[in-house]
Chain A
Amino acid sequence: MAIPSYATRGERIWHYVFLGICALIFLFLVGPLLIIIPLSFNAQPYFTFTQEMLTLDPAGFSLRWYEDFFTSRAWLNAIKNSFIIGIASTILATILGTVAALGLSSRHMPARSAIMALLISPMIVPLIISAAAMFFFFSKVNLAQTYLGVILAHTALGIPFVVITVTATLSSFDTTLIKAAHSLGANPTRTFFKVVLPLVTPGVVSGALFAFITSFDEVVVVLFISGPEQRTMPIQMWSGIREQISPTILAVATLLVLLSMMMLTTLELLRRRSERLRGVTPE
């Protein structure tokens, strides 16, 4: 955002003030996430920076909370559960969501906007309501306290993300590419694999990532419908935070921040790739 040459002095000052305000807001957005990273290396069981840490004395830092995390049976079991439930529900949500998105992006889809509104609703309905409702219903049909129950619940919650990202990809899909492929002599199968799929994949993958992170981060529904065997990471964190936040939670939090950075990088790479494929170049 360059300052136009005709800007007055007041505007210039305002411009820098504005940039300063924006910097503060960015600090508000990201600062909290960055603060916990050093805190998780605290050698003391405190939630704040000790004198040793501030003077960068190596004695003030330790990996003990990470050690706690990686040697605790409860935490490791929770990670395992989170991955089992996350991956299973992601696969289900991605398949169901992608197939549905293909239908939804057809010009002839009947009652399109009503159906779309319905498919997106698990994202809009407050989690506590979904959780209470699923608790009542799943208890009745013997799905409560089972892996299958939790997986189905998370599939329902992940579906809107897949539907949204894949339909968005499909709606910007240029159908003339298919005609071009045909006219150049490719048969439909070849067209699908060589033209359609590479263009749609980024949307599907980012939908799947959203579905996974939704399940991986979900605590309310699990809190209501899971049994002792399905204890996931968020549940473990939740009970930890409610009782007393030991720095082990900060170590977990740091690992989760790193995980989200990885996910974000993947998404960014996907986006660039799909832009390149479509021939869109950044300014």
Chain B
Amino acid sequence: MSDSPASPLTTADGVPLKISLRRAVRRSKLKAFLLVSPLLLFLVIAFIMPIGEMLWRSVDNPEVSTHLSRTVDALEGWDRESLPGEEVFAALAEDLREGQQARNLGLLSSRLNYEKSGMRSAITRSARGLGALEPPYREALIELNAHWGDLDTWKLIERESSPLTLSYYLAAVDRQLTPDGEIVRAPETQRLHVNLFWRTLWMSLVITGLTLLLGYPIAFLLASLPLRYSNLLMILVLLPFWTSLLVRTTTWIAILQSQGVLNDMMVALGVIADEARWQMIHNKTGTIVAMTHILLPFMILPLYSVMKTIPPSYMRAARSLGGRPFLCFRRVYFPLTIPGIAAGGILVFILSIGYYITPALVGGQSGRFITNYIAYHMQTSLNWGLAAAIASILLFVVVVFYLVFNRIIGVDKVKLG
């Protein structure tokens, strides 16, 4: 410490220490970032971009503007009060003729049919019937299919000619646009998704609660046993954790179905009659039991890691001060485990609302989650825009909880086994 406070500290080669340090930090920052960058790049391509593509799909609306481009142009300046004029119908005829030749009217007719039932056949039939048509097209087309004489059809075409649409999101929350562009609730008979979102959240909450109820005693036991016993018991927790999800679901089918192990046992024991076997699968019960089992380790592990850090002397001290056992537990031990409860609870809840396989296999009708409808719209109804919109909403919910989790616990604190 011979340097006077006035002259700055320097390194051996005369560079001021401050600068040299900053350089070194910058270098190691760069080095660290370079090490991470291949993975970042990979994830951006293989994961983030697909998610982006999906978000885009949920608002993308190219069908009308591409396949009915002439019609859309001709509709410009239309008064929206009366049926459009002959030039619009002529453009429509031209568009349909071209689409029929190129055989690409399928997506257009599906798109319009989502908004107005009957548009699919209106388009395919009109396109097929066009060959024999002569101008004036207005009367001819209306004659061919009554939908062309309906003002709402034209309002629909005009509305959906914009390259972006909100109608998938509206459909995902059981809303719809009136022909005049107002957002209203869908008719009661068509409301489906909002209930499913609530059911998914509610059942996930029940599952989270059950895993907590079952996981807490186990974690407590593991944390208070000497390590050599708890390690052995820990294997019983980790074994299901490491076992294939499909295997665990299968075993629940084998156990719970009406000709399954549990019902057979009950019949053999005379608890229930052979004709009155319990219906425990293909309903809510099936989903809740199987998912509680599957997600239980995700609750036990964070709870355990928090409980292990609580010194046993706290409880002893509380007891020695005269507290009754339950009071001591409630006032001293339990509050200390709240971080573990939060970590396990949020983790289980997040995983639960996104589950697909188990509800699909054992959920039946009443145990279905919103995820099952994403799969349904992806694979069966083929309304990919709606699937993307529902998935985006679910993604938003999950990301919010994930950020909360990250904020209060930190993802880097997650431990696996």
Of A11, A29, A133, A241, which one neighbours B361 at CB under 8 angstroms?
A: A241
Closest beta carbon of chain A to B299's beta carbon, Å: 11
Cross-chain contact A30 with B375 (CB below 8 angstroms): no
Stretch at the interface among B11-19, B96-104, B258-266: B258-266
> Of the candidates B49, B244, B402, B403, which one forms a contact with A253 in the assembled complex, judged by CB atoms under 8 Å apart?
B244
Contact in complex: B243, A256 (CB < 8 Å): yes
A28 engages B357 (CB within 8 Å): no
* B203 proximal to A (CB < 8 A): no
Any B CB within 8 A of the CB of A25: yes
| Cβ–Cβ contact A100 & B50, under 8 A | no
B contacts with A: majority SS: helix
CB–CB A115/B36 < 8 A: yes
Assess the B36–A109 pair: CB atoms within 8 A. Answer: yes
Distance from A6 Cβ to chain B, minimum over Cβ atoms (Å): 8
B59 located at the interface, meaning its Cβ lies under 8 Å from any Cβ of chain A in the complex:
no
**A104–B233 Cα gap in the complex (Å)?**
33
Q: Are B250 and A245 in contact (CB under 8 A)?
A: yes
Alpha-carbon distance A32/B411, docked complex (angstroms): 31
B47 close to A121 (CB less than 8 A): yes
A260 contact set on B, CB distance < 8 A: 239, 242-244
The secondary-structure label for the interface of chain A is helix
Question: How many B residues are at the interface, by size bracket?
Answer: 35 or more
Q: How far is the CA of A96 from the CA of B45 in the complex (A)?
A: 14
A11 B325 Cβ-Cβ under 8 A: yes
A-B interface pairs (CB < 8 A), number: 281
Across the interface, B415 reaches (CB within 8 A) one of A1, A152, A168, A219, namely A168
CB distance from A112 to the nearest CB of B (A): 8
Docked CA distance A132–B57 (Å): 11
In the complex, A125 Cα to B398 Cα: how many Å? Answer: 7
User: Is the CB of B227 closer than 8 A to any CB of chain A?
Assistant: yes
B252 interface residue, CB < 8 Å from A?
A: yes
Flag if A132 contacts B378 (CB, 8 Å): yes
Q: Mark A2-43, 1 if CB is under 8 A from B, else 0.
A: 001010000100100011011001101110110110010000
Which interface residue of B25, B47, B54 has the most chain A CB atoms within 10 A? Answer: B47
Bound Cα distance A138, B46 (Å):
9
Check: B273 CB closer than 8 A to any chain A CB: no
Is the CB of B247 closer than 8 A to any CB of chain A? yes
Residue A86 at the B interface, CB < 8 A? no
Write the chain B residue with the least CB distance to A23. B221
> In the bound complex, do residue A26 and residue B375 qualify as a contact, i.e. CB atoms below 8 Å apart?
no
- Bound together, the chains give a CA A159 to CA B260 distance in angstroms of 38
- State whether A253 touches B250 (Cβ < 8 A): yes
Q: How far is the CA of A135 from the CA of B247 in the complex (A)?
A: 25
Contacts of A125 in B (CB 8 A): 51, 354, 395, 398
- Chain B residues within 8 Å of A165, by CB: 416
Within B272-299, the residues touching A (CB, 8 Å) are 293, 296-297
What are the residues of chain A within 8 A of B264 when measuring CB–CB? 48-49
Given A26-B236, A167-B412, do A136 and B388 touch, yes or no (CB 8 Å)? yes
Quick check: B398 and A106 within 8 Å, CB to CB? Answer: no
Q: Which chain A residues border B374 with CB–CB below 8 Å?
A: 128-129, 132
Residues from chain B with a CB closer than 8 A to the CB of A253 are 244, 246-247, 250-251
Does residue B156 face the partner (Cβ distance < 8 Å to A)?
A: no
- Chain A residues 256 to 279 lying within 8 A of chain B, measured CB to CB, are 256-257, 260-261, 263-264, 267-268
Distance (whole angstroms) from the CB of A113 to the closest CB of chain B: 7
Q: In this complex, what residue of A is CB-closest to B372?
A: A128
Q: Is the CB of B31 within 8 A of A47?
A: no
| B391 at the A interface (CB under 8 A) | yes
Judge whether A103 is part of the interface by a CB distance below 8 angstroms: yes
Contact B378 A32 (CB under 8 A): no
In the complex, A282 has a CB within 8 A of chain B = yes
C-alpha spacing A127/B51, complex, angstroms: 12
CA of A103 to CA of B31, assembled, Å: 7
Known pairs A124-B398, A128-B374, A132-B391; A256 contacts B247 (CB<8 A): yes
Given contacts A26-B218, A118-B43, whether A106 and B249 have CB atoms under 8 Å apart is no
Which of B33, B46, B47, B356 is in CB contact (< 8 Å) with A128? B356
B354 A127 Cβ-Cβ under 8 A: yes
Contacts A234-B244, A237-B250, A260-B244; is A30 near B236 (CB within 8 Å)?
yes
* B384 cross-chain contacts in A, Cβ below 8 A: 136
Q: How far is the CB of B58 from chain A (nearest CB, A)?
A: 10
A150-164 CB mask vs B (1 if < 8 Å, else 0) is: 001101100101011
A155 adjacent to B32 (CB under 8 Å): no
Q: Judge if A210 is at the interface, Cβ distance under 8 Å.
A: yes
Q: How far is the CB of A258 from chain B (nearest CB, A)?
A: 10
* B53 CB within 8 Å of chain A: yes
Task: Give Cα distance in the complex from A65 to B227, angstroms.
Answer: 40
Chain B residues within 8 Å of A206, by CB: 416-417
Q: Which residues of B contact A213 (CB under 8 A)?
A: 242
A-B contact pairs, 30 of them (CB 8 A): A22-B221, A33-B240, A35-B261, A47-B257, A47-B260, A48-B261, A104-B32, A106-B28, A106-B31, A109-B36, A110-B32, A113-B411, A125-B51, A126-B354, A128-B354, A129-B395, A133-B391, A134-B50, A137-B53, A168-B415, A210-B416, A224-B378, A237-B250, A241-B250, A245-B250, A245-B254, A250-B254, A256-B243, A267-B238, A268-B231
B residues adjacent to A (C-beta < 8 A) = 25, 28-29, 31-36, 38-40, 42-43, 46-51, 53-54, 57, 214, 217-218, 221, 224-228, 231, 233, 235-240, 242-255, 257, 259-261, 264, 293, 296-297, 316, 319, 325, 350, 353-357, 361, 371, 374-375, 378, 384, 387-388, 391, 394-395, 398, 402-403, 406, 410-412, 414-417
